[in-house]
Amino acid sequence: MRVAALYDIHGNLPALEAVLAEAERERVDAVVFGGDIAAGPMPRETIELVRSVDDAVFVRGNADRLETPANPEGEAGRLWIKQQLDDEHIAWLTNLDFSAILDDTLYVHATPEGDETCVTELTTDDRLADLLSGVEQARVVAGHTHMQLDRTVGSIRFVNAGSVGRPYEGRPGAYWAILDEDVELRRTEYDLERAAAETRASGHPRAEELAAENVLVVPSREEALAAFGG
């Protein structure tokens, strides 16, 4: 089975469109949307597009829990996103499954333990093994930290697919993964100027910041690791 893993879209519609077009060319059998789908400048359009994808599987991310207050930095954005969506959209996001299993692979937003737990390259093997204890599948695919990762602890391969819409990789683009017998971490280029313009025009309370610092330029891994730690 050939699966495209798309995580952390964060309402970046142009990035999503580019990745879906590439996934179609790759003839994947299924697309897993791994959470944090709509929390960004184009929430309604992003939800409508992901729900139109055939053979799609959905996992809920922490930012999809729109009824849960965010940290002070994100609270204004959460309230704005709720205003852009109707009750059905909000209920759909809220009721997405915590996890999914396809082809001996467990898909979660962050870890099997919770949707806000961070795993990075700084996470020790012992800590990661503890987080994966009880997993029966050969692979676990996650996102949340917006940085791609591929490592193995014991018999389990842990993969972070990266972020489609808001990567912390130092190089702009849309980051995702394809899984079959192996794992291929991907980066897709898209129209950054269009995405920045549509972000600025969206009315999102952090629109200018998102366009300038998360689309045209993106944070480096070093900056993100300093924030996330192990």
> Can you spell out the DSSP letters for 29-44?
SEEEE-S--S-SS-HH
Supply the pTM of this predicted model: 0.96
Q: Looking at the predicted structure, is the pLDDT value of residue 2 above 70?
A: yes
Q: Quick one: average pLDDT of 174-186?
A: 98
Give CA–CA dist 139/142, Å, rounded: 10
Q: Looking at the predicted structure, is the pLDDT value of residue 230 above 60?
A: no
Residue 64 CA to its chain's centroid (Å): 11
| Spatial contact of 53 and 25, defined as CB atoms under 8 Å apart | no
What is the average pLDDT value for the chain, to the nearest integer? 96
Q: Looking at the predicted structure, is the pLDDT value of residue 227 above 80?
A: yes
Q: Report the DSSP beta bridge partners of residue 139.
A: 105, 157
Q: Quick one: average pLDDT of 169-173?
A: 97
| Spatial contact of 7 and 164, defined as CB atoms under 8 Å apart | yes
